[in-house]
Chains A and B, each alone.
Chain A
Amino acid sequence: MSIRLSAEQAAFLQGPLSINVGAVGRDGWPCVCRAQGALVARDRRALTVLLAAGRGREVLDALDAGSGIAAVFSHPATHATLQLKASCATRVAPNSAHHACHARYAAAFGSELGALGYGDELVRGLAALMAAGDLAALRFAPEIVFDQTPGPAAGHVLAVA
């Protein structure tokens, strides 16, 4: 069973957010990787997160081995944060929509950090990191959504299947 994300949540998840994806390897070690964009399905019951395959090898291997997925989306300016979890994620071949999403995301996230006062060097580093050509796409249907905005309410369940 999956849940249906609200329209607000879908819009938020596709914004210029800091995105990190976690999984647990066969050996029990948790692992994490920065993602580079997200695309919510039209029915809002699934989303695809994009990451560089080389940087995310450990996470991808863990997911291939059957790990659940946890993805955290945080807006740097406001710290508004959501965490989505699912018991599995599927690797899909990146298509033109994914590549377009990635390009949009890289530009928007760079502008977001630049506007927050992070220096040119960091924004250049981000651009170099985002330029990796080995895009991987992970599709999953969220089963639970948490509000993870820092504070005493962090961890509050917003939706569950």
Chain B
Amino acid sequence: MKPALESLRACLDGAIPAVIATCAPDGTPNVAYASQVHYVDTEHVALSYQFFSKTRENVLAHPYAQVQVVEPGSFRHYRLRVQYLRTETGGPLFQYMKAQLAGIATQSGMGKVFVLRGADIYRVLDIEAVDPRLPPAPPPPDALLRLRRTLDHLGACDELAQLADRALAALTPGFGIRHALLMMLDETGSSLYTLASQGYGHSGIGAEVALGKGIIGMAAHERILVRINHRTGDYAYHAVLRTAATNEPRIPLPVLAEPHSQIAVPLMHADRLLGVLYAESEHDAFFSHADEDALAIYGRHLAALVAQLAALPDDAEPLPATATPAPTGALLAVRYFPDDHSVFIDNDYLIKGVAGSILWTLLNEHAQSGRRDFCNRELRRDRRLPLPDGGDNLETRLILLQRRLAERCPAIALEKTGRGRFRLVLDHPLALHAMS
């Protein structure tokens, strides 16, 4: 029986290079290594086009070729009869292959010479199993079972903060994933911010990634799952951070300096992007194709839960005011820069953007009226806050602010007092300075 193309996905991870045989117009054969043979769908593969090579010259003239791929772990060979159809130079497939190629290139020490110029799409016409008598590779761990175990650990969540933490924690017993981030799309749709992290020396809560930057930004921009199974310099965030502007306040992403495997899963609810789930490992080939499938489903599930929790109605009013003693101790200087809504506490950067604006509004409200109890509903209506209509992101922004305060300035805290209700708790008196 002819093997199905999807059963060969393990052969297409670049662990053992594939070769492609083509034919020149004069009938001369040519054999070349293919850096990357990418599974597109049940009938198509894509090969990376990096240079104008003899292979390319041949397939443009005579579109029939044979590709030999090898199953890692068994050394079983397969030959694919393929027909060249077209070249794509942009879009999700191209971007995915570009990211994967960067991984392959770095692994092989040839990062500088591996630049993707196009994704050559081939139709697979026939597949031959060359070594049917060789024993197959040991099967990878059952990804469906891993997914089920992950969902069991995720359990029922009735608020977003709990979901954010459990979504990452459940990956460890489920998939053995020890390093992960949950990033949410911001109001502008141009960057993502870290809402939760697991397995790093510092939490990186609030750290941002621009859409299109690195594997996380690309997964968000193209709305595709991206998996890189080799160490890569190009898509490591330390490289991205080095090239970024250094004069603006920034929370560093807490990622591994040299991840050997990375996966970025867009959190899509219907056709809406809510964020990205990112996981990485110090080991090569950590994520199998089946893990990719399972994590894609997990991403959909998480996105549905986020949307469901965000849509729950808030309590209508804040709690009634209660008498509290005035805070004592050293005066904390809070500086606010309206241009980017950044807030500094005693000259240390705390937060910016919507979360910074919320904090500044709450602190001013408290300074003027003594109020400590607030509710989401009033914030959604507050014209001083740069929230989009409906304030969809308010709850995640409050979680971000709450966590950032807990890490960097415990003297100011936001305590939850109900669904969509919270209390501002101050341990020190504050001096508020709005900067021009």
CA distance A129 to B131 in the complex (A): 8
Cross-interface CB contact of A22 among B16, B30, B137, cutoff 8 Å: B30
The answer to whether A133 has its CB under 8 Å from any CB of chain B is no
Does the CB pair A24–B73 fall under 8 Å? no
SS of B interface (majority): loop
21 A-B pairs whose Cβ atoms sit less than 8 Å apart in the complex: A20-B31, A20-B68, A22-B31, A24-B27, A24-B28, A24-B29, A30-B22, A30-B65, A30-B66, A32-B66, A32-B79, A70-B28, A118-B72, A125-B75, A125-B135, A150-B35, A151-B51, A151-B110, A152-B113, A154-B32, A155-B54
What is the size, in residues, of chain B's interface with A at 8 Å between Cβ atoms? 42
Task: Judge if B42 is at the interface, Cβ distance under 8 Å.
Answer: no
Bound form: Cα–Cα A152–B110 in Å: 12
* Inter-chain contacts of B200 with A (CB < 8 A): none
Contact code string A90-129 (vs B, CB < 8 Å = 1, else 0) = 0000000000000000000000000000110110011011
- Supposing A79-B110, A122-B74, A150-B113 touch, asked if A68 and B53 sit within 8 A by C-beta, the answer is no
B21 contacts the other chain (Cβ, under 8 Å)? yes
What 1/0 flags go to A8-35 for Cβ under 8 Å of B? 0000000000101111100011111110
Q: Is residue A136 contacting chain B, with contact meaning CB distance below 8 A?
A: no
Q: Identify 7 new A-B residue pairs, CB closer than 8 A, beyond the known A31-B21, A34-B68, A72-B33.
A: A22-B21, A29-B23, A31-B79, A83-B31, A125-B73, A150-B33, A150-B113
Please tell me if B238 contacts chain A, counting CB pairs below 8 Å.
no
Q: How far apart are the CA atoms of A119 and B137 in the complex, in Å? A: 11
Q: Mark B42-81 against chain A: 1 for CB-CB distance below 8 A, else 0.
A: 0000000001011000000010111010001111110101
Report if A148 contacts B (CB, 8 A): yes
Asked if A40 is an interface residue, CB under 8 A from chain B, the answer is: no
Interface residues on A, range: 35 or more
Task: Give A81 to B35 CA distance when docked, in angstroms.
Answer: 13
Q: For B137, what are the chain A residues with a Cβ–Cβ distance below 8 Å?
A: 121, 125
B108 on interface, CB distance cutoff 8 Å: yes
Residue of B nearest to A144 (CB): B28
Known contacts: A68-B29, A70-B31, A122-B75. The answer to whether A29 contacts B51 by CB under 8 A is no
Q: Is B4 an interface residue (CB 8 A)?
A: no
Using CB atoms, name the residue of chain B closest to A126. Answer: B75
- Contact A70-B29, Cβ < 8 Å, known A122-B74, A150-B113, A154-B53: yes
- Known: A121-B137, A155-B53. Contact between A70 and B30, CB under 8 A? yes
Instruction: Enumerate chain A interface residues (CB-CB to B < 8 A).
Output: 18, 20-24, 28-34, 55, 67-72, 74, 79, 81, 83, 85, 118-119, 121-122, 125-126, 128-129, 148, 150-152, 154-155
- Asked if B40 is an interface residue, CB under 8 A from chain A, the answer is no
- In the bound complex, CA of A126 to CA of B72 (Å): 11
CB <8 Å contact, A30 and B21: yes
Chain A's nearest CB lies how many Å from the CB of B3? Answer: 16
B160: CB under 8 A from chain A? no
A122 adjacent to B31 (CB under 8 Å): no
B110 contacts A68, C-beta separation under 8 Å: no
Contact, CB under 8 Å: A152 / B66: no
Shortest beta-carbon distance, A1 to chain B, in Å? 16
The residue that A154 contacts in the complex, of B22, B23, B51, B81, with Cβ under 8 A, is: B51
What are the residues of chain B within 8 A of A83 when measuring CB–CB?
30-32
How far is B62's CA from A121's CA once the two chains are assembled, in angstroms? 38
**B138 beta carbon closer than 8 Å to chain A:** yes
